[in-house]
Structure 1
């Protein structure tokens, strides 16, 4: 079992932050060293997107072709397709931050296209993810695009059944093989949370759903339902598990920063 409990006396995850707390970002050595990478360029953006989406579609095509040879070969190709699928999701992530292409509208259009391919409604996800960035590490604002995490006191004060459910939810096998695909395949088909009340949330999610319906429907019409499922289920399972794992390890580690609202800082 994998259990993550946050000590309530958790302080800043690294002592050096105290030394640079009042330093301007532009004065930091890290900023100066990375300044050259802060501007989006068309050539690099289109190059990386081009070979990623090319690899994805070529591999998907080969997976359909190898169904007539041996399914083991199809599953091996699924690893490559899932890697390209995950990289498309990462490019979509950068589009959501408005950093992949120079213009905002360009990021939005590319993000919406990638959203259809990866089952992720772009504007809905981008807004939710931005809120996650603005609240991460805040114990009083958990639940925004993060993995459910309890403090020691909260865990101890919860009932036995709730503790079992929490342990089960955070079990890595359940999280990666059940929660991850359920999130990408089912939960992202509706504008959950605050965006349930917004017009933009509904348009983003339902527009993506329509795009997915057309895209998947075309593949099913060409290859058939069973071959489609044999190809896409392993790709979605692998890529969604990898995506959740990446988000998990970036926030769930021993010295991760957590604090109450009164003492929490965005720095």
Structure 2
């Protein structure tokens, strides 16, 4: 199921118009607390969908033309809050090393194994506890990451500094336009929409790669198909969620073949399910929230586990 340019333009056009209308409604509703919260949520939803469109462009899957994917991915980067070429490099590394314990540096969220935890110092355990807390991973970290750290990702020095320059100029121009239109209250409204998108957006990669029965391994024993299909889940969060996120929930198939555009991903997944060619780990919304308890990967039992209860003593070495 390859890209359909007509469908892609319709998907983008409708999404972008709704984003502009939602943002303008929010900016014009400052002080009106009956309308403003709903307008902010609508801005968040449409901005998140634009982020998902850029995600398709990263894989050069949204349009048939690589050049058009790159152009649109760059132009919408200030709304998506992420520079295009640097993010494309980082994200492709993630796809190349999904479920690989030797390349956990390519994942959005770091995972420590149970054996590593048991061998760690108290300070490292404390650091990891703080890092894996919902406050860090959902409420604080994502906003800091996208608003501050994404302005100058280190990968940008590999992929080209001018992409970062163009992105940040567009980012400043967009925020300046909002300031001219509505002043600092307008910036606060946009920041609120970005914050909600960051928090919600962070929960997605967490749940699709941090569920209880997720598969992790090491190469060469870890093959690509197993890593893609068993290292990712499907989020069964309803049709509205699929619409807003352009079907990114069907993540196992996306990792198996990233060239399927998001607007065709759900249909492709359902077709494979009907033929019994794909069996997915499906996670409902409530069970997804429960995934936040999984902290460590148990290599012996091949599953995610919570932090051990009580203090685990590290055995002394034989030479001690």
Which residue number in structure 2 is paired with residue 254 of structure 1? 212
**Counterpart among 10, 16, 20 of residue 57 in structure 1:** 20
More RCO (CA 8 Å, sep 6+)? 1
Give unpaired runs (5+ residues) of structure 1.
Answer: 1-37
Structure 1 CA distance for aligned equivalents of residues 3 and 9 of structure 2: 11
Structure 1 CA distance for aligned equivalents of residues 21 and 156 of structure 2: 37
Which residue number in structure 1 is paired with residue 195 of structure 2? 237
Deviation, 1:104, is 0.4
Structure 2 CA distance for aligned equivalents of residues 179 and 219 of structure 1: 25
Report the RMSD for the aligned CA atoms in angstroms.
Answer: 1.5
Deviation, 1:68, is 3.7
**Counterpart among 106, 125, 128 of residue 163 in structure 1:** 125
Which residue number in structure 2 is paired with residue 48 of structure 1? 11
SS at match of 2:198: helix
Give unpaired runs (5+ residues) of structure 2.
Answer: 226-320
Please say if residues 94 and 106 of structure 2, whose CA atoms lie closer than 8 Å, have aligned partners that are also in contact: yes
1:139 matched to 2:97? The reply is no
Deviation, 1:102, is 0.9
Please say if residues 191 and 202 of structure 1, whose CA atoms lie closer than 8 Å, have aligned partners that are also in contact: no
1:217 matched to 2:180? The reply is no
Which residue number in structure 2 is paired with residue 264 of structure 1? 222
The structure carrying a bigger helix percent of its residues is: 1
Deviation, 1:179, is 0.7
Deviation, 1:196, is 5.2
Note the alpha carbon deviations across 1:70-121, whole angstroms, 9 max, x for none.
3x63122211111111111111101110111110001001111121222110
Structure 1 CA distance for aligned equivalents of residues 67 and 195 of structure 2: 31
* Aligned residue runs from structure 1 range 171-210, under 5 A: 171-192=133-154, 195=155, 197-198=157-158, 200-210=159-169
TM-score, normalization by structure 2: 0.67
Deviation, 1:264, is 2.0
Structure 1 CA distance for aligned equivalents of residues 163 and 213 of structure 2: 36
**Counterpart among 60, 64, 70 of residue 102 in structure 1:** 64
Structure 1 CA distance for aligned equivalents of residues 145 and 161 of structure 2: 17
TM-score, normalization by structure 1: 0.80
Structure 1 CA distance for aligned equivalents of residues 23 and 156 of structure 2: 34
1:130 matched to 2:81? The reply is no
Which residue number in structure 2 is paired with residue 90 of structure 1? 52
Task: State how many pairs are aligned.
Answer: 225
User: Does the C-alpha gap of structure 1 residues 208 and 255 become closer, same or farther in structure 2, counting only changes over 3 Å?
Assistant: same
